[in-house]
């Protein structure tokens, strides 16, 4: 084709072939059935990594907005807590295995997390929101436990109204100065159905139940219970067992409220603090919760952890045979501290505390020199695996509170995809009809360019593994309109040139030349707006900005390069005497 600008033809062919190559994985992945994905997960994962990524609103998943509690930061904390929390959450989500998550800051105290395609939202919230503060603290003695129970008994005998309020389901809320107390009615949702009502019915039998948890009654405790005044003794609700305090499920809420009262807190031995076990445990047919008195000072913390790995205890282990465990390994400094602590406290119990809850409190049998420990008392495999994830990722500098949560089911995402595709096709058909009716042959050229524009846009998103969202589909439709707008400008310029009596080829050249500056200015300003939207926006806004940005650049290519090449072919390098426009 003598006189044709061959470089345009070569460029368009190369671009189209590259687009086909980039879109093949997306087409193959979309064609895979659920059975095929399940039978060959490696292939499905490989294709998905090279495909267009669907956003939360199209794929389904979870959207969280979390706020960091700066009041819980350590007094000597000097780093930016939101940046540190962001990095820790990103590490946890990466190990959790969610593909293409969105994790970003919002303001100065909030973090936005979007997890598309998530199958278990509750598990994800547990992993993301767990503070994961790991501490090793020594338990106080059995004597300290009995002294604490007696001190609380004496306090309740002196102030019987405290337990009256606790058994009535009321909470003790300190006032601003912390010197007096206000009593607030607690909601029914906070009290298990078998707690308060059954307390009233079973009050007379509580002592017997507590005393027979292990089939062996503590005589000292029984004596305390029998000597209580008006039935208000703390010992009627609990039972000491070695260095622990056991609370039956039916008494748990009452005891928990009692322990929040300042006068009861004052009974805790100096230098000690209370910690609950991480869950209820069945003993001789009775669900009980363990309460521990530990030293306030942590002997070792999770800052010295080198690794935390999920595994199973040996079948020969008498306490955790075959159960899931988390194996901990300290770094060199942590191992030295752990060795010194265990060596100085042989035959004492060392509690393993995570986020204030005790998972286990084994007896130190000998000095542990290799810096290894393990967390037991884990019932589920997933729980052990998740715990190892959060410990490896590190602990959050302060607790995170979920202030917004949205979960989108996959069915709703599929419905959004169908509606988006329908809107795109309908919009395209209307544009095609208008262009063909109004511009005839030139309109057909514009339609070809529009189809190629959509094809290249999807290929670019697949190649860059960009995220397609519902607003992104709106951006695609807007891009089609902008591409048509460029074609309209060019065609009207060509019409003006033809009216002056110029040849077809000269009119086409002049039309493109005169329209180019206007098209460039309009698209450049829109591109700036899209970049700003992407930089400052979140979630759906970013999805819109991505498709709009790609669409602007591609529409410039199709409107200026592709249509001009087609015009050159149709007019046979200037020999046509007329143009259907």
CB-side neighbour CA atoms (13 Å) of 271:
8
Q: What parts of the chain have a pLDDT lower than 70? A: 1-5, 97, 99, 169-232, 318-320, 410-413, 538-539, 572-578
CATH 3.30.1360.200 correct for 299-395: yes
Q: So what CATH class is 6-36+409-570?
A: mainly alpha
- Give the domain 63-131+397-408 fold: Alpha-Beta Plaits (3.30.70)
Query: What digits encode the pLDDT tens for the residues 256-306?
Result: 999 999 999 999 999 999 999 988 988 878 899 999 999 999 999 988 888
Q: What is the 3-class SS of 262-288, one letter each residue?
A: HHHHCCCCCCEEEEEECCCEEECCEEE
Cα-based angle 38, 41, 45 (whole degrees, multiple of 5): 130
The predicted structure's pLDDT at residue 577: 63
Domain locations in the chain?
A: 6-36+409-570, 63-131+397-408, 141-296, 299-395
Q: Are 364 and 348 in contact (CB under 8 A)?
A: yes
Helix ranges (H only) for 348-469 are 381-393, 410-439, 441-463
Q: What is the pLDDT of residue 445?
A: 87
Q: What pLDDT score does 173 carry? A: 55
Q: Cα–Cα distance between 579 and 566 in angstroms, integer?
A: 13
* Secondary structure element (H or E) that encloses residue 171, with its range: strand 170-174
Strands (E), 175-243: 181-185, 239-241
Look at the block and give the residue holding tokens 């988390």: 326
In this predicted structure, what is the pLDDT of residue 44? 80
pLDDT at 222: 39
CA angle in degrees (0–180, nearest 5) for 493-497-503: 130
Q: What pTM does this model have?
A: 0.59
pLDDT at 413: 66
Q: What is the pLDDT of residue 539?
A: 66
């Amino acid at each position: 084709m003598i006189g044709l600008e061959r470089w345009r033809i070569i460029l368009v062919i190369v671009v189209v072939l590259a687009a086909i190559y980039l879109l093949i994985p997306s087409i193959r992945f979309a064609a895979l059935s659920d059975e095929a994905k399940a039978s060959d997960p490696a292939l499905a994962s490989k294709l998905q990594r090279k495909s267009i990524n669907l956003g939360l609103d199209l794929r389904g998943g979870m959207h969280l907005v979390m706020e960091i509690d700066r009041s819980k930061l350590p007094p000597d904390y000097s780093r930016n807590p939101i940046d540190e929390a962001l990095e820790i959450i990103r590490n946890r989500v990466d190990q959790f295995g969610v593909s293409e998550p969105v994790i970003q800051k919002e303001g100065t105290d909030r973090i936005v997390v979007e997890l598309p395609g998530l199958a278990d939202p509750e598990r994800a919230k547990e992993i993301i929101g767990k503070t994961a503060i790991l501490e090793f603290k020594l338990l106080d003695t059995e004597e300290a436990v009995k002294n604490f129970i007696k001190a609380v008994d004496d306090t309740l005998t002196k102030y019987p109204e405290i337990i009256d309020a606790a058994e009535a389901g009321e909470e003790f809320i300190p006032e601003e100065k912390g010197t007096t107390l206000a009593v607030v009615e607690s909601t029914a949702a906070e009290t298990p159905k078998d707690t308060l009502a059954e307390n009233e019915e079973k009050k007379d039998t509580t002592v017997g139940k507590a005393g027979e948890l292990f089939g062996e009654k503590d005589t000292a405790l029984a004596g305390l219970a029998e000597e209580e005044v008006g039935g208000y003794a703390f010992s009627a609700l609990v039972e000491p067992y070695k260095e622990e305090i056991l609370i039956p499920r039916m008494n748990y809420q009452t005891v928990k409220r009692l322990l929040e009262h300042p006068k009861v807190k004052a009974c805790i031995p100096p230098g000690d603090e209370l910690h609950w076990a991480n869950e209820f445990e069945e003993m001789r047919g009775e669900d009980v919760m363990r309460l521990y008195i530990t030293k306030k000072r942590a002997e070792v913390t999770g800052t010295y952890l080198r690794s935390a790995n999920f595994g199973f205890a040996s079948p020969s282990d008498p306490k955790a045979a075959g159960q899931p465990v988390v194996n901990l390994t300290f770094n060199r400094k942590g191992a030295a501290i752990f060795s010194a602590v265990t060596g100085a406290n042989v035959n004492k119990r060392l509690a393993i505390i995570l986020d204030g809850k005790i998972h286990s409190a084994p007896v130190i049998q000998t000095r542990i020199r290799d810096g290894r420990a393990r967390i037991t008392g884990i019932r589920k495999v997933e729980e052990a695996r998740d715990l190892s994830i959060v410990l490896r990722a590190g602990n959050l500098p302060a607790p995170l509170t979920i202030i917004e949560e949205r979960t989108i089911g996959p069915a709703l995402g599929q419905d959004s995809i169908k509606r988006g595709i329908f809107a795109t096709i309908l919009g395209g058909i209307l544009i095609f009809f208008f262009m063909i009716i109004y511009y005839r042959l030139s309109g057909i050229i514009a339609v070809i360019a529009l189809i190629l524009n959509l094809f290249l846009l999807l290929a670019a998103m697949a190649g860059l593994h960009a995220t397609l969202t519902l607003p992104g589909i709106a951006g695609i439709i807007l891009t089609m309109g902008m591409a048509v707008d460029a074609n309209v400008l060019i065609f009207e310029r060509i019409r003006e040139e033809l009216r002056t009596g110029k040849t077809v080829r000269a009119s086409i050249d002049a039309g493109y030349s005169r329209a180019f500056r206007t098209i460039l200015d309009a698209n450049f300003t829109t591109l700036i707006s899209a970049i700003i939207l992407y930089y400052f926006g979140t979630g759906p806004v970013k999805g819109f900005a991505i498709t709009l940005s790609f669409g602007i650049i591609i529409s410039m290519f199709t409107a200026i390069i592709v249509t001009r090449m087609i015009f050159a072919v149709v007019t046979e390098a200037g020999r046509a005497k007329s143009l259907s426009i």
